[in-house]
């Protein structure tokens, strides 16, 4: 048996010296399916297939793939060449680290003995991968060769079609935190708008939590379809919080399968809790605050003289109710 194998293997490894078969052909070696869509961290298989081939006695290919996205775990011989007889199948190289960016699989298969080769369509090999990161991966067939059963064998002219793998990921991002005012009277409320976006490929349900100086001030369960963005408004009641500066932080829970987690947290807003009526936050309630309130009096959001800091009771109106609060604390200082 070994005596039969050796000449065939020699022909495979010396393919550069085999004359080309000049006949026109429609033979195609290709990745099947052409497009594979898979969820991150899942396992999938692709076939190296062939169509419209005549008298195939041996094949040889190298497959390249991005090792940042995919991890190859197994290759097995397909059934097609075996339809013509016993085969010798060997894997010359199987590594995720062919170079810094790509893995490479190099496989060879030949018929043993003499006789006609395989004709028609079928699977040459099946490869199993793990999807390790979301993105688009090209499966590139290169340096491949097909030979027929003639003595000496001839190359079979063929075309090649690569494949694409789209790895779908999970990715929630907090894209903005906006405070509707920068000063809030102690014991009163203020509104915080948090913008979130589902940058992944699946509808996600998760918790969105807002903190003031690491103290939780609100939590909301959110369901967000893929590709969508929404604004969630939190109302913070400052009752029981000490006067001073507070950093507002919004955190979206990491969803299963999410790998890009840095953008789940957004910290970029500061608000000051003050003595109610201290609109300009200078630690005293006096005529300066009254002037500011007067300038915004009778205003509502989206009008030119609207000043949210002057809306002390946070009812979207600057009116006599705010003036009463200011008046009650007029002349007071903090501390």
Same fold, 2-168 and 172-329: yes
CATH number of the 172-329 domain: 2.60.40.10
CATH number of the 2-168 domain: 2.60.40.680
Residue 25 pLDDT: 62
Contact 233, 267 (CB under 8 A): no
Please name the residue that has the structure tokens 């915080």.
Answer: 192
Integer Cα distance of 65 and 69 in angstroms: 8
Q: 196-206: string of b/e by CB count within 10 Å (b at 16+)?
A: bbbbbbbebeb
Contact 175, 264 (CB under 8 A): no
Peptide bond between residue 335 and the one before it cis (omega within 30 degrees of 0): yes
Residue 169 pLDDT: 94
Helix H, strand E, coil C: the string for the chain is: CHHHHHHHHHHHHCHHHCCECCCCCCCEEEEECCEEEEECCCEEEEEEEEEEEEEEEEEEEEEEEECCCEEEEEEEECCCHHHHCCEEEEEEEEECCCCCCEEEEEEEEEECCCCCCEEEEEEEEEEEEEECCCEEEEEEEEEEEEEECCCCCCECCCEEECEEEEEECECEEEEEEEECCCEEECCCEEEEEEEEEECCCCCEEEEEEEEECCEEEEEEEEEECCCCEEEEEEEEECCCCCCEEEEEEEEECCCCCECCCHHHEEEEEEEEEECCCCCCCCCECCHHHHHHHHHHCCCCCCCCCCCHHHCCCCCCCCCHHHHHHHHHHCCCECC
The CA radius of gyration of the chain, in Å to the nearest whole number, is 35
pTM: 0.75
Integer Cα distance of 289 and 287 in angstroms: 5
Residue 220 pLDDT: 98
Q: 57-74: string of b/e by CB count within 10 Å (b at 16+)?
A: bbbbbbbbbbbebbbbee
Residue 9 pLDDT: 42
Going from N- to C-terminal start, the domains of the chain cover 2-168, 172-329
Q: Which two tokens stand for residue 320?
A: 């006599």
- 268-271: list long-range contacts, CB under 8 Å, 24+ apart: 268/177, 269/177, 269/178, 269/179, 269/192, 270/182, 270/245, 270/246, 271/179, 271/181, 271/182, 271/183, 271/184, 271/190, 271/212, 271/245, 271/246
The DSSP bridge partners found for residue 273 are 184, 244
> How high is the mean pLDDT in each 10-residue block of the chain (335 residues)?
40 42 72 96 97 97 98 98 97 97 98 94 98 96 96 95 97 97 97 97 97 97 97 98 98 94 94 98 97 98 97 98 97 91
């Amino acid at each position: 048996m070994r005596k039969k194998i050796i000449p065939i293997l020699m022909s495979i490894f010396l393919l550069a010296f085999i004359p080309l078969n000049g006949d026109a052909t429609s033979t195609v070696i290709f990745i099947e399916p052409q497009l594979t869509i898979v969820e991150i961290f899942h396992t999938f298989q692709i076939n190296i297939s062939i169509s419209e081939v005549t008298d195939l006695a041996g094949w040889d290919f190298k497959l390249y793939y991005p090792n940042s996205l995919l991890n190859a775990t197994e290759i097995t011989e397909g059934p097609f060449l075996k339809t013509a007889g016993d085969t010798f199948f060997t894997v010359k190289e199987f590594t995720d680290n062919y170079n810094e960016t790509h893995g490479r699989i190099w496989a060879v298969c030949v018929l043993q003995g003499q006789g006609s080769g395989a004709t028609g369509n079928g699977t040459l090999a099946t490869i199993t991968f793990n999807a390790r990161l979301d993105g688009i991966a090209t499966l590139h067939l290169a340096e491949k060769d097909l030979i027929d059963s003639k003595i000496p064998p001839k190359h079979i002219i063929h075309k090649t079609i690569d494949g694409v793998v789209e790895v779908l990921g999970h990715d929630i991002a907090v894209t903005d935190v906006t405070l509707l005012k920068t000063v809030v009277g102690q014991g009163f409320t203020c509104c915080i708008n948090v913008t979130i976006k589902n940058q992944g490929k699946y509808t996600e349900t998760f918790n969105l939590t807002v903190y003031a100086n690491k103290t939780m001030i609100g939590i909301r369960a959110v369901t967000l379809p893929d590709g969508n963005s929404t604004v969630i408004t939190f109302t913070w009641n400052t009752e029981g919080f000490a006067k001073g500066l507070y950093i507002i932080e919004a955190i979206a829970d990491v969803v299963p399968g999410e790998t890009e987690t840095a953008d789940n947290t957004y910290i970029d807003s500061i608000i000051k809790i003050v003595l109610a009526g201290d609109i300009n936050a200078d630690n005293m309630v006096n005529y300066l605050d009254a002037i500011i309130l007067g300038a915004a009096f009778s205003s509502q959001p989206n009008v030119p003289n609207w000043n949210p800091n002057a809306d002390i009771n946070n009812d979207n109106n600057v009116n006599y109710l705010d003036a009463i609060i200011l008046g009650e604390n007029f002349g007071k200082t903090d501390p």
